[in-house]
Structure 1
Amino acid sequence: MKESSKVVEICFGSGWMDRTVNPVQAPAFLNGSVFYGCPSPILRWAHPKCRSCFGKRLELTRRRLFAARGARLYLRGDLVAVDRVKKSSIEYETGYLCEGKSENFPHIQTLKNFPKEELSGKVVMVRFDSSILLGEKLDKNSLAVSNALFTVQYLLATAEKVILVSDWKREVSSKLLDSQSVSDILSSLLRRKVVSLKCLSCGVPFKRELLEEADIFLLENLSGFRKEVANCPEFSELLSSEVDVFVNDSFSLSHRVLASTVGISRFSPACVAGFQFEESLRELKRVLNTDKRPYIAIIGGANIHGKAAALKRLVSECDGVVFVGMMSLQIMHALEYSIPSTLLEPGSSDAAVEVIQSARYRKIPIITPKDFWCINDSPGYQIEVIPAHRLGEGWVPVDLGPRSLDEMDSLLSSCKKVIWIGPVKFKSSHSSICTDGASQVAQIVDRLAQRNCEIAVVGNKACSAMIKESRSSASCSVIENASVVWEVLKGRKLPGLLALDRAFPFKIDWRMAYRNPAQPLVVDIGSGNGLFLFGMASRRKDQNFLGLEVNKKLVRRCLDGVHQSGIPNGFFIATNATSTFRSIVSSYPGEVVLVSIQVIEKLPFCQPVKSSVS
């Protein structure tokens, strides 16, 4: 949308016409962040006494609305207009009406697609992932490190000031890490001076005057603040002081509700995903994709009770499941193997039975280890390969045996997709004994990757083994933080993801939508059956009219009406405007002159307001 000094009138009304209305949840919608970037309006909420400031204009609008009741909707249009609307209607029905198909993964606003001009002269806060940039073994050539650094470097080139914030371990490799030490590390990575700011502990919002001495700053370690974990509103507001744009680049924490990832979004005008966040989300979607068959899951780790819902989902989607690690012992116990009680997790029995029943219902195989590398309790800790049925005879498993690995290799040989999630080894005080089950599993998976099998590896230990043993150039999806994946598999949403601004998922061709897309635009949010827009479009040929409505059936009818009437200046989009308004309107080539919002009649905030567009 072009820069303009004109005033955009945002009118709230109800009962304007006899039509189906989509009540807008105003407290969630009517905040600065929704209109941020359109471009950067400053909303001045009018007191009821101030309604007369443009009462004549509002009254004129109301009269037109009521007059539109009798408007003939099906007007004759030229063939060019009909053809134009027909094509765009088909496009919207096949694409735009499908928006919001996945609620767990909404279409979010990303830094890559955020207008650069909206970053110019702004203060941007980046919530970076300390596990990536402050890790003990930092690989500058890794994709994660490159993306994390590029987020900051991109902002340094486009924004005025950049503020970094994160949490980190107080001690890494016997070296104490205070804010100054971390600033030095980041300075060396970015090759720019990073200045440490100490303002959070004082509880006083920092002022822009403090940002004059440098271009990039680091706030204090968030791990020292309880209010961070508690998602305290006051602390969130303190974090957002003087911040114009918030960038979340810490995807590994998206399953948690933190002040620095979720709470801050309430106070930031714009909240977008950084390059590393966006790439990690893309990897997660690849991991969860089930298009290729046969699809086998290798599942390790522990806590079967807490992961029961996720396991049942995997069983419902896979063509076979291979259990390793502590998880396998719980399944084996439910299959009536003799397992020492010291190796069983409390409450695991019922969960294991449910998983087995789900697999049997789908008639898919459940594979458990046939043998183990074990140690006994005798002096010297003798290590030996023990069959699964002899585990109860004083032997403690520490790793997978050769027969188990051979069976796994045979089962996976014909797979088109494999997901490996969780560690292979077992919990044991003797786990340091030199066995290489994880390495051999990684070799099996790597050979599959060379045969064009789609590979997904989840969890720190599984990823480490895969990186160490990989000999092929074939790429695989890697997510080191398994907690995020487990949460999604359980059917839960990611708070850190949902806190970000939404983006309309499709590129709008305004030339297809309107005969003249340069004309001023009037937007009706909650357009219902479209009577208002049809009436206005037939009267004002010098303006374009856009209806945003969450009800897809109503939008389809409105598009049919536009198609049949051949109206050249009316169009409708099925979307939740509370989250996509900015991304839709900001791409419009002309000026936005009026926004009308349908709300419930008795809401006290149903007053007209003005928004100055700078």
Structure 2
Amino acid sequence: MAKKTIRDLDVLGKTVLIRVDFNVPMKDGVITDDNRIVQALPTIKLALEKGAKLVLFSHLGRVKTEEDKSSKSLAVVAKSLSEKLGQEVKFVPYTRGIELEEAVKALKEKEVLMFENTRFEDVDGKKESKNDSELGKYWASLGDVFVNDAFGTAHRAHASNAGIAANVDEVAAGLLLEKEIKFIGGAVDNPERPFVAILGGAKVGDKIGVIKNLLKKADKILIGGGMSYTFYKAMGLEIGTSICEDDKVELATELLKEANGKIELAVDIKVTKDFSNDGVIKVVDFDKIPSDEMGLDIGPKTLEKYTEILKTAKTVVWNGPVGVFEFSNFAQGTIGVCEALANLENVTTIIGGGDSAAAAIQLGFAEKFTHISTGGGASLEYLEGKALPGVEIVDEV
């Protein structure tokens, strides 16, 4: 069944609660990547066009102590949003109380209010993260309808999504959540073939469920990053001092058998002696890694091999860098994969959030992809085939 979206709602004159994902990276009080704010704009603008009174709310990082609050306020985000919308965004520095309630009541049509970081409620008993029923009911009481547009937290049942949804009559998806459902859900459930997945990152353990699910769905799975070495060890190869999950070697062996040729690993590796950007670098074949060196990136022959496979694809999902992207000397594999994907034509290309999304944006390729997910953890669980609480709560049409 299709999910109800904000397009289906009559919100004229109504107070619309929108859970956005403004969990943006910040340094010294300055937003360093505003992509999540930008991605929320279509939903916010549509609600305003339809004559709604908007109440926006989000989390920002983890808040465990009173001291955390000073660096985790959404005030700077409200200011950024105001600039992008070209209108005032009223900011209430509280998560509950009379000041918030009066500010919401005073809203007029096409006005926007944002209240403080929902995780401030976690300082005293994790009320937000543990979906405190009283908190969910309270937040629900502030509005008439609820729109969830925060895919980044869709894999968690929190008071600000599931808690509110349980206490309102109408729950719809925002336009961003709708896109995530369409592209990531569609890629897994009904991809145009050939369907190729690229999986990187350090640990097999983080991607077991994804690999298992994609082995049933994908035509090829290209593996890079630190998790490669657990597979090489499962093949009985020397991996030197490369990262390896010894407790997952047996599982990697099983996955390779189950894959029946679907899993592709690097054929050459960039190695060095220390986990550093400054050491002597060699490129060696995958079965000739020196015993005193570690692999930190895929080599040029692998990039060529993966690029040729990608040229045959009609749907591609990428999650995780294929090397140590934060080191410039070991970022070439990830950059190369990004460029190869960006140059594909008539192919649905989806990045599943996290570091690979950051890489594409940093490299200036964001516009070249069909969809870049705003939720790393949520997209991983979606790729696993798991039901996401933040999606399940949305009404069916």
Normalising by structure 2, report the TM-score: 0.84
Paired residue for 1:458?
Answer: 352
Paired residue for 2:309?
Answer: 411
Distance 1:218 1:376, change over 3 A: same
Deviation at 1:352, TM superposition (A): 0.8
Larger radius of gyration: 1
Paired residue for 1:129?
Answer: 21
Distance in structure 2 (CA, Å) of the matches to 1:133 and 1:164: 19
Aligned AA for 1:431? Answer: F
Residue 155 of structure 2 aligns to a residue in which SS? coil
Distance in structure 2 (CA, Å) of the matches to 1:381 and 1:125: 53
Paired residue for 2:12?
Answer: 120
Kept in 1: contact 2:268–2:284 (CA 8 A): yes
Kept in 1: contact 2:195–2:218 (CA 8 A): yes
Paired residue for 1:444?
Answer: 340
Deviation at 1:110, TM superposition (A): 0.8
1:422 and 2:316 matched: no
Deviation at 1:356, TM superposition (A): 0.8
Distance 1:138 1:344, change over 3 A: same
Paired residue for 1:166?
Answer: 58
Paired residue for 1:87?
Answer: none
Paired residue for 2:232?
Answer: 332
Kept in 2: contact 1:283–1:478 (CA 8 A): no
The 5 A counterparts of 1:267-346 are 267-340=167-240, 343-346=243-246
Deviation at 1:197, TM superposition (A): 2.3
Paired residue for 1:20?
Answer: none
Deviation at 1:502, TM superposition (A): 1.8
1:388 and 2:286 matched: yes
The 5 A counterparts of 1:491-510 are 491-503=385-397
Aligned AA for 1:123? Answer: T
Kept in 2: contact 1:170–1:178 (CA 8 A): no
Which of 133, 137, 141 is 1:237 aligned to?
Answer: 137
1:375 and 2:275 matched: no
Aligned AA for 1:108? Answer: K
Distance in structure 1 (CA, Å) of the matches to 2:167 and 2:292: 59
Distance in structure 2 (CA, Å) of the matches to 1:298 and 1:213: 47
Paired residue for 1:225?
Answer: 121
> When the two structures are aligned, how many residues end up with a matched partner?
380
Kept in 2: contact 1:287–1:477 (CA 8 A): no
The 5 A counterparts of 1:18-97 are none
Residue 487 of structure 1 aligns to a residue in which SS? helix
Distance in structure 2 (CA, Å) of the matches to 1:502 and 1:252: 21
Distance in structure 2 (CA, Å) of the matches to 1:179 and 1:464: 21
Which of 87, 102, 107 is 1:192 aligned to?
Answer: 87
Deviation at 1:132, TM superposition (A): 6.6
Deviation at 1:210, TM superposition (A): 5.5
Aligned AA for 2:81? Answer: L
Distance 1:191 1:280, change over 3 A: same
Kept in 2: contact 1:337–1:389 (CA 8 A): yes
Paired residue for 1:259?
Answer: 159
Kept in 1: contact 2:153–2:378 (CA 8 A): yes
Q: Deviations over 1:387-430 (max 9, x none)?
A: 22232421111211112212223333433333222111149xx8
Q: Deviations over 1:239-276 (max 9, x none)?
A: 12231111111112111111101111111222111122
Paired residue for 1:11?
Answer: none
Distance in structure 2 (CA, Å) of the matches to 1:304 and 1:377: 22
Paired residue for 2:251?
Answer: 351
RMSD after superposition: 3.2
Distance 1:224 1:470, change over 3 A: closer
Paired residue for 1:433?
Answer: 329
Q: Deviations over 1:275-306 (max 9, x none)?
A: 22222222223432554333322211133234
Residue 355 of structure 1 aligns to a residue in which SS? helix
Paired residue for 1:59?
Answer: none
Q: Deviations over 1:48-83 (max 9, x none)?
A: xxxxxxxxxxxxxxxxxxxxxxxxxxxxxxxxxxxx
Distance 1:472 1:192, change over 3 A: closer
Which runs of no fewer than 5 residues in structure 1 stay unpaired? 1-99, 101-106, 504-614
Deviation at 1:176, TM superposition (A): 4.7
Deviation at 1:438, TM superposition (A): 0.9
Deviation at 1:453, TM superposition (A): 3.4
Q: Deviations over 1:2-29 (max 9, x none)?
A: xxxxxxxxxxxxxxxxxxxxxxxxxxxx
Distance 1:319 1:149, change over 3 A: closer
Deviation at 1:433, TM superposition (A): 3.3
Paired residue for 1:65?
Answer: none
Which one has more relative contact order, counting CA pairs under 8 Å at least 6 apart?
1
Q: State the identity %.
A: 24
Distance in structure 2 (CA, Å) of the matches to 1:473 and 1:136: 19
Q: Deviations over 1:26-60 (max 9, x none)?
A: xxxxxxxxxxxxxxxxxxxxxxxxxxxxxxxxxxx
Distance in structure 2 (CA, Å) of the matches to 1:289 and 1:316: 10
Paired residue for 2:382?
Answer: 488
Aligned AA for 1:481? Answer: G
Kept in 1: contact 2:130–2:159 (CA 8 A): yes
Distance 1:108 1:132, change over 3 A: farther
Residue 200 of structure 1 aligns to a residue in which SS? coil
Deviation at 1:351, TM superposition (A): 2.2
Distance 1:296 1:283, change over 3 A: closer
Distance 1:472 1:424, change over 3 A: closer
Deviation at 1:109, TM superposition (A): 1.4
Deviation at 1:183, TM superposition (A): 3.0
Which runs of no fewer than 5 residues in structure 2 stay unpaired? 64-69
The 5 A counterparts of 1:132-171 are 136-138=32-34, 148-159=40-51, 161-169=53-61
Kept in 1: contact 2:184–2:383 (CA 8 A): no
Normalising by structure 1, report the TM-score: 0.56
1:109 and 2:7 matched: no
Distance in structure 2 (CA, Å) of the matches to 1:472 and 1:501: 31
